[in-house]
Structure 1
Amino acid sequence: MAVGYDQDFSFNQQLWYYYTTNRGKIRSRYNDLTRKFLAYNDSEENPHAFLRKPQFEALEMYIFVKEFMNNKQVYEMFDDWRHKRDRFSDASYYALEKNGQIRLFDAPTEKQTDTLFKQMKKYRESYPNYIYALTMGLGKTILMATCIFYEFLLAKKYPRDKRFCHNALVFAPDKTVLQSLREIMTFDKTKVVPPEYARVLDSNIKFHFLDEAGTILHTIDDSDFNIIISNTQKIIVKKKRKEATPTETLFAGTGSLLSAVYGADSDDDDAWDDTTLMDNQRFKKLCRLPQLGVYVDEAHHLFGADLEKQIRSSGANKTSLRDTINLLAENTSIVACYNYTGTPYVKNQLLPEVVYAYGLRESIWNGFLKDADPIGFENVKNEEFLTAVVRTFWERYGGKTYEGLKPKLAIYASGVEEAATEVKPVLEKVLSDLGIPASKILLNVGDVKYTKNDDIRDFNNLDVPGSEGNEKQFIILVEKGKEGWNCRSLFGVALFRSPKSKIFVLQATMRCLRAITDERLTATVFLSKENYDTLDDELHKNFNMEIKDITNPSNDDRHKYQVRVLPPPRTITLKRVWHEYTLHEKEY
């Protein structure tokens, strides 16, 4: 028994250990449709399975919590586990310690489990709330779509089973992530759903994409199999500042969400008093949909920047998105809230309801992301920095293509004027010295004075082989290219000005880590010394790791070991010893 307080203890690891130890027993208890669905996505049973290992493991845990644990809240599962009750009992068919068998890990202290349980129970919601933490680039959007497809198939076959979602509401924190969620609508279902069942989904699913302010939600009351994809501001309840006109009531719902997460501490628009909330047409329509499952992308927004303060103090304000979900739960039947995030830590503290996590360190080391080579620069000046950055980038990636895509470098400027009047002229001069045409530059700053429609089209086509966007290799950005930007051909980022938000350094850096080709590749990150230190600090807060953990380790440092648990030696005490002698006559 451990005697200390283990800061690295996490319940999701214990759940995963329990599941993997009993995987065969547990999966044999699932219904036929679930077993077929899992087998179709399991690379050990289907060599053509589409999901990668972290995605499939998260799907396994999703179904385990759904069907085996019957949608219990995390604090309830944790309480059963620590007291060895129900499924976790030593007398259970699934017990891990029968006949005195040893465990791989020491149990945490009773004091620690009691503290964790009180924390979980204190901040529980009225509905089950789960967090699936997969780092950027592992395919959270595809995983989310797969989980929704699974829900709808089971709901179609078992319409009276309250465990399954009949409708899905997908939240995105901002417009960039919202656009990336279009993949749920366009994704080829047969990659994760057996073809005979994919046809059932195609004939029943109704998509509603709310991307414009004032968009009316056209769902039929009490209908099933609706997938509503929305920016949070299109549904969210807000503080009512004045009496609204009927038109304003109908089309209300704009505003910001959790800007404090990105460093704007003075903005309190994401915290509301329950007595000052109002709803809108879209919210009312959602309240008329039965058995609603809520799916939140980039879920760390849901908890806010003051998670540590919330956990340690009482009476802290919740986010307006959380209030919206809670109001939905009061007005309709919410099956559960499923949160997907790439950062399971906030200020080095694990989010309280994580049931599966696959971190940045594991993703890089296991080849699901590019390796990273961060370079820090002292005494940064525009021309010197850009010259060094472009020369290094071109030496490493110039003239190469990957899956028909040319490698790109994203240069982040702190403001529109700086990007247009300082960074771009210097970049043109550096490219000219290297014999690279200025047409390789793309300026995307969100200002129509400098960024035209053609530029936006090229930005959206950076990963399209043969397009004009693919020819753009030096991308100058202002407040772009953060969460939700999916550009696999991005091989470098340059950030030398200190942004207002420290988390932006982490978000910008991770954009270039998405994997491309089956080859192990390395992306280069160019930072000022100040931003280099900021990245190290943000990695520690959000992933519980250091900057050296994302660097490219040499192949000499990588070894595979096979570990087997051997039983302890056994001794037998002999009470009686019998000696038998035989004589043989020897002939001479």
Structure 2
Amino acid sequence: MFYELINNKRNEWLQSADCTVRPMLQYIEQQGMMRDAQIEAIKTYLFLKIACKGKPLYQLFAEGYFNETEIATEELTVETRHVLETSKAALALFQYSCLKDKNGRQLAPELEKFIRHHATEIDYERTLLDIFYGVTYTDYLFSLPMGAGKTYLMAAFIYIDLYFAQNEPDNPVWAHNFLILAPSALKSSIIPSLRNIREFDPLWIFSEVEAKKLKRLIKFEVLDEQKSANKSNIIRNPNAQKINTHLLGGNALGIVALTNAEKVILDHIDNSVDETKILSKEEMKKIEVANELRSVVGKMPHLSVFIDEVHHATDGDIKLRKIVTDWATESRDFCNVLGFSGTPYLDKAERTTIGGSFTIKNTNISNVVYYYPLMDGIDNFLKHPKVKHVDVSSEEILQNGVREFLNTYKDTIYADGTCAKLAIYCGQIPTLEDKVYPLVADIVTEYGLNPAETILRRHKGNKEYPEPEGSEAAFGSLSSPLSKVRIVLLAQIGKEGWDCKSLTSVILPHEGACPNNMVLQTTCRCLRQVVKGEHETALVWLNKTNAEKLNKELKQQQNITLSDFSSKPPVEKKHVERFSRKEVPSIDFYQIRVQYRIIVIASQPDTVARLADHAILCKRDKALVTIQNMEGKVTGYDEILTGDAELHTFRWWLHDIVRESFGTLSMSELTKHEALLKAIYDETHANPEYDHYLIRSMIRKAFVPKRDFTIIEEVVPDEASILSLDNLKAIDVADLSLIYPKEDDVREILDWDAHPEKGEMSAKDLELIESMKKIPGIPQEAIDAALAGIQSKLPKDPHPERLQTYHYLPYRFDSNLELGYFTEALVAVMKERNLEYYFNGDDTLTEFKIRTYRKTASGHWMYDGLYVPDFLVVSRTAEGAIDRICIIETKGEGYAPKFKERLEFMRDVFVPKNNEQYKRDRFRFLYLEDTDGHEERIKKTIQMINEFFK
């Protein structure tokens, strides 16, 4: 988050008298053609170029350009204070370590601690240089999400530099010529989008006179020629020749060359080795041709290098960084490198050692100078997405995702004439061809669409599956109103640089549909807005694995940090003693027990009747779909049918039934009932609402004697203690935040347990009061005043709640929700009532566990495990026995769906059955969610107590 420090100083500069470009920025905003993300990036760019003189980042931080921390109030040792007061680099690193993310968490508390205690051991300038990759030239990275207009921002930077270069031709800060590089792997997708720079109108940022002048200066060159013919003896690089043509005049200005990194990163000749002896002539020719282009590019005066999707330049197999470094060190007037990326983080964390022993780990690209959050773009210049993920098979995800897309967007035509489109990503070509395409083709046919027109298969082909004929041209024209394609099936293509604004939906149905670190980018392909300012929606379907990767990337982007890692000592666990405080009587209650007994109904199968029974047409179960936004926050839940729609022929279907019987059923037995089976097939085979596997199973059962089972529901008495003393032992925990009460409070409570007389009047004081009562004529007010005076001097119990809770100490809660609710209820509810309130959620200590069951789709009971309630509120009889019990359960929103069936069991079965046995209202169940909020939870608790504990 170094960019936060830059942004703070940038904002100060923009408001200061030193900012000379305020009219220019006001003009850009008034024109209204640039997005807010682009305008803010331009502000940062001008600040770094003008106020910071375009210096390298490590130097800017080392020279204290962004320092603002006041250390006068810091508690520091003499040595540390001296270092921070005399070293701007030290203060910069210390300032960084104290930064907090948007959630208020400190970025690098261990780094701060290390600086405080080892300030004199650190080479601060060396550390800053290492953090910024040892780069001594100017290298800035601008991070904007997909759809923010990075290519137009590049164009704006080019025109800005040319504008100032004309006025200050000798100022090395402003570039005269520009090279735009795309990563090698993305040459086919990114180069076309970079050509959009041609479309940028300088009128958006400069007056008409200046815009026309600048437009005439620009000379575009797309370096996409083949290096030379294979059989040519002439070693000439045609791309190098294009640049040379502009350099011949000696005063090159306004060259904008676009190419992919592959053109410039081939291994150059190592002068220390006579490679002519080990390489063929063809290999030598390729190397010389590549060297020629690199050499010519390096001669472009006042060169600025733009790297799109710069995160690829950090890959180990791309040598782009080395080439750029060569240009920067070999050319005296090299200007800068500007990177652009929507994903400014690394595949693998990079480590920096500080002070010889301490190590920080950087999971994000350090040289980000400007960052625009993805969430700020949604409903601004991006579509509003609905993200759904579910833990079912990829076929089921495809079924539901494709159907929802067609139901929602089948008739959507945007203002530019393009139709809404869906992209389905497949990890491998065989998966696309053999599994996904047939399934999707069946669905679109069902919706009355022609698969040949509606579906485009796009991949590069392999030995088994050639590249689909005409697919490249069709893919390139998807943004045309003439394209009839609605669904694009992609394998190993289309994850970056694909600009199709009418893409409205994305499905990642299985693991490996895209690389692990590209789920976010791939998901965002469908977010580009078609019509500026319009509220447009998008739909994303993911399997569980890809959803986890997406949320990991979202968290990584939203919490960009330099984290302290490897030299951090192991987490120190704290020893927590636990104590039994008060004896709570065992709770008697009734458990529900369900047993199954098999019954033979018939000795012979009644196949005809059973095949004709409509009950054989079983419907599918439903799976829970989680809906989230692009912050990773769950916004709702839905249900979908599980299972596959089957489109086999009738004969193939019969073979499936026989095959799945494992030899217990023959084809000849099936064909005796062909008419009945054909009726079942015709009713169900193409309908996704039916559970085809279960129907085939029911058909096989029709050929064996019918058996059934009876369900015996029993209500059996049980008794349980809420504290197992055998298990109450000391524990070692790393985090004390969920231990309550704290150690000092525990000691106080135990002390008052041992000496309750501390709060009571002594015998002498009691005798005094009694003697006063016997003296004739003393008013009652005097006696009361004497009594109050004595009591005021007595110690006050600091924990009066101890009489109503804490059957053992301390409690260890599972979540902040549990801890918060416990303390809330103690203060607001239990204090004024003669009730007891216990935490029961530690399953290692309580025996009060409830057997739970859930109803299956067929209506049968299925055992669902032991449920351990969170809290118990109890009242007692005059004799001290447990009278009434309210079971309280707290659940976070993310866990609520999984508790749904247990909630129904507790409310509809356990509580009614128990109260029926006791012939009174003895049990109550209260369910609370974190979405209720503090006040609502307390309100519900008070309402329960007033109703139940009358």
Q: TM-score, with normalisation over the residues of structure 2?
A: 0.47
Map 1:260-279 → 2, pairs under 5 A: none
Using the TM superposition, give the Cα deviation of residue 484 of structure 1 relative to its aligned residue in structure 2, in angstroms.
Answer: 0.6
Residues 334, 111 of structure 1: alpha-carbon distance in 2 compared, 3 angstrom cutoff = farther
Q: Distance in 1 between matches of 2:373 and 2:631?
A: 11
In the alignment, is the contact (CA less than 8 A) between 1:408 and 1:489 conserved in 2? yes
Aligned-partner Cα distance in 2 for 1:125–1:505: 30
Return closer, same or farther for 1:530/1:514 CA change in 2, 3 Å cut-off. Answer: same
Cα deviation for residue 330 of structure 1 reads 2.3
**Cα deviation 1:392-424 (Å, max 9, x = unaligned):** 112222212222321110011222232223222
Deviation digits for residues 21-79 of structure 1 (CA, Å, limit 9, x no counterpart): 341325x643xxx55543331x2xx1x32110110010111011101111122123223
Alpha-carbon displacement from aligned partner over 1:2-34 (angstroms, at most 9, x marks no partner): xxxxxxxx23222222222341325x643xxx5
Q: Does 1:21 align with 2:12?
A: yes
Rounded to whole Å, the distance in 2 between the matches of 1:129 and 1:12 is: 13
- Aligned counterpart for 2:364 among listed residues 350, 358, 363: 350
Map 1:39-54 to 2 at 5 A.
39-41=26-28, 43=29, 46=30, 48-54=31-37
Shift of residue 359, structure 1, vs aligned partner: 1.6
1:250/1:118 CA distance change after superposition, 3 Å: same
Deviation of residue 181 (structure 1)? 0.7
Pair 1:69 & 2:52 matched: yes
Aligned to 1:59: 42
Question: 1:250–1:280: 8 Å Cα contact kept in structure 2?
Answer: no
Please tell me whether the aligned partners of residues 135 and 363 of structure 1 are also in contact (alpha carbons under 8 angstroms).
yes
1:387 matched to which residue of 2? 399
Instruction: State the identity as a percent.
Output: 27
SS at match of 1:539: helix
In 2, the alpha carbon distance for the partners of 1:56 and 1:110 equals: 38
Correspondence 1:411 to 2:398: no
Specify the code of the residue in structure 1 equivalent to 2:339.
N
The answer (yes or no) to whether the contact 1:133–1:342 under 8 Å persists in 2 is: yes
Is the partner of 1:379 in helix, strand or coil?
A: coil
With over 3 angstroms needed to count, the CA separation of the structure-2 counterparts of 1:66 and 1:381, relative to structure 1, is closer
Cα separation, 2, equivalents of 1:167 and 1:246: 34
Tell me, in whole angstroms, the C-alpha distance in 2 between the residues paired with 1:234 and 1:181.
Answer: 16
User: Does the 8 Å CA contact 2:58/2:136 hold for their aligned counterparts?
Assistant: no
**Other structure's SS at 2:239 match:** coil
Where is the strand percentage greater, Structure 1 or Structure 2? 2
- Output the amino acid matched with 2:319: S
Q: Structure 1 residues 434, 530: closer, same or farther in 2, change over 3 A?
A: same
SS in 2 for 1:160: coil
Are residues 82 and 50 of structure 1, via their aligned partners in 2, closer, same or farther at CA, if it must alter by over 3 Å?
Answer: closer
C-alpha distance in 2, partners of 1:279/1:118? Answer: 34
Q: CA RMSD in A?
A: 3.2
Say if 1:120 and 1:352, in contact at 8 Å, map to a contact too: no
Which residue of 438, 441, 444 maps to 2:458?
Answer: 444
> Which residue does 2:2 correspond to in 1?
11
Equivalent AA in structure 1 for residue 239 of structure 2: I
How has the CA–CA distance of structure 1 residues 193 and 83 changed in structure 2, closer, same or farther, with 3 Å as cutoff? closer
Q: Are the aligned partners of 2:327 and 2:334 in contact in 1 as well (CA < 8 Å)?
A: yes
Given candidates 302, 327, 330, the residue that maps to 1:291 is: 302
What corresponds to 1:478 in structure 2?
A: 491
* Alpha-carbon contact 1:237-1:324 (below 8 Å) kept: no
Partners of 2:633 and 2:538 in 1: how far apart? 10
Q: Does 1:327 align with 2:326?
A: yes
User: Is 2:221–2:256's contact at 8 Å kept on the other side of the alignment?
Assistant: yes
Larger relative CO (CA 8 A, sep 6+): 1 or 2? 1
Query: Counterparts of 1:423 and 1:529 in 2: how far apart (Å)?
Result: 18
The residue matched to 2:192 in structure 1 has which SS? helix
Counterparts of residues 58-137 of structure 1 (less than 5 Å): 58-79=41-62, 80-81=64-65, 118-122=126-130, 123-137=133-147
CA distance in 2, matches of 1:128, 1:385: 47
Select 1:460's aligned residue among 460, 476, 480: 476
Instruction: Give the superposition deviation at 1:111.
Output: 5.9
User: 1:282-307: per-residue Cα shift (whole Å, max 9, x none)?
Assistant: 101112211111111111122337xx
Aligned residue in 1 for 2:338: 338
Q: 1:421 — aligned with what?
A: 434
Residue 507 and residue 29 in structure 1: after superposition, are their counterparts in 2 closer, same or farther (change >3 A)?
closer
1:339 aligned partner, one-letter code: G
Distance 1:413-1:498 versus aligned 2 partners, 3 A rule: same
Q: Do the aligned residues in 2 keep the contact of 1:296 with 1:340 (CA within 8 Å)?
A: yes
Q: Which whole-Å deviations, capped at 9, do the CAs of 1:526-566 have from their partners, x for residues lacking one?
A: 11212222222233334549976156969xxxxxxxxxxxx
For the residue of structure 2 that corresponds to 1:216, the secondary structure is helix
Q: Which moved more, 1:195-204 or 1:541-550?
A: 541-550
Deviation string, structure 1 residues 484-535 (Cα, Å, up to 9, x no partner): 1111111111112221721232322111111233233331111121222222
Displacement of 1:377 in angstroms is: 2.9
Offset, 1:164:
0.7
Match of 2:524 in 1: 510
Instruction: Find the counterpart in structure 2 of residue 541 from structure 1.
Output: 556
Distance 1:112 1:130 in 2: 27
Q: Report the residue type matching 2:477 in the other structure.
A: N
Name which of 527, 537, 540 aligns with 1:522: 537
Alpha-carbon distance change, 111 to 120 in structure 1, aligned in 2, over 3 angstroms: same
**Paired residues of 2:459 and 2:468 also in contact (CA < 8 A):** no
Computing the radius of gyration over CA atoms, which structure comes out larger, 1 or 2?
2
Residues 354 and 505 (structure 1), Cα distance of their counterparts in 2 relative to 1, 3 Å cut? closer
Cα distance in structure 2, aligned partners of 1:83 and 1:534: 36
Gap change, CA 1:450 and 1:12, over 3 Å in 2: same
Counterpart of 2:620 in structure 1 is none
In the alignment, the residues of structure 2 paired with residue 76 and residue 374 of structure 1 have an alpha-carbon distance, to the nearest angstrom, of 43
SS in 1 for 2:259: strand
Find the aligned partners of 1:512 and 1:551 in 2 and give their Cα distance.
19
Structure 2 counterpart of 1:164, one-letter code: W
Instruction: Determine helix, strand or coil for the equivalent of 1:280.
Output: helix
3-state DSSP of counterpart to 2:16: helix
TM-score by length of 1: 0.74
* Equivalence for 1:216: 239
Q: Distance in 2 between matches of 1:111 and 1:362?
A: 36
Tell me the equivalent position of 2:655. Answer: none
Contact 1:408 1:491 in 2 (8 A): yes
- Counterpart AA for 1:526: W
The one-letter code of the counterpart of 2:10 is Y
| Structure 1 residue aligned with 2:414 | 402
The alpha carbon displacement at 1:224 in A equals 2.2
Say which of 280, 285, 291 aligns to 2:291.
280
Distance across 1 between alignment mates of 2:499 and 2:420 = 14
Q: Distance in 1 between matches of 2:267 and 2:558?
A: 32
CA gap of 1:162–1:464, structure 2 versus 1, over 3 A, is: same
**What CA deviation, in whole Å up to 9, does each residue of 1:132-160 have, x standing for no partner?**
11111111111011101111121122211
1:172 paired with 2:195, answer no
Letter in 1 for 2:436: V
